Amino acid sequence: MRDHVAIYGGFLGNETAVNERPALDPTLGQPVGTSVSSSTLSGDIGMPSDVSDNSFRILSASNLLTGEVLDGFVISGANANVGSFTTGAAINLSNSSPAIRNCVIENNTSTGQGAAANSITLSQLNLDKCLVRNNHASISPIYMLGEQSQTVFFRVIHQELSLSQAARL
């Protein structure tokens, strides 16, 4: 992500403004009343269904100012499993606080903490109307550490972990 940039997904193709997008059904991860899936940010960049060649991270934000937005995406398929890339598979924040809205964060893995989200070093994890499901981490699928970590509104379904809690807040 970059300073002061808003990224919007979930368009069907005939909209002319952001507010014309259909609402995202957080249970299905697609626009309400359609069979068209929403915009996807996928870490599955190699062989389909082979997680060993997936991206380590999908969204990374470091030292951002304010005003960043990610809205209307499915974030899936990251596999943080090598060297310094064992945390924050789907979302990794350091000294940044983007607004993440109307998103589905699913099917990400991490050998460390934060398969769905890793928020450290004076970051705020702002999840608004998001669904977090089917993520696997050794320590915690959602990991927030620091004085300013917070969540707004999200739903968590079927998180898997090896050592710790479903969310470390």
What pTM was computed for the model? Answer: 0.83
Q: Is 130 helix (H, G, I), strand (E, B) or coil?
A: strand
CA separation for the pair 6, 147 (Å, rounded):
25
Q: What is the pLDDT of residues 92-129, one digit of tens each?
A: 898 898 999 888 899 999 988 888 888 887 888 888 88
3-state secondary structure 7-55: EECCCCCCCCCHHHCCCEECCCCEECCCCCCCEEEECCCCCCCCHHHCC
Cα-Cα-Cα-Cα dihedral sign, residues 167, 143, 43, 10: positive
Q: Count the Cβ atoms, other than its own, within 10 Å of residue 36.
A: 12
**Chain position carrying tokens 């990251």:** 78
* Domain ranges across the chain: 6-168
Q: What is the pLDDT of residues 62-92, one digit of tens each?
A: 998 788 999 989 999 999 998 888 888 889 8
Give the whole-number percent of the chain exceeding pLDDT 90: 22
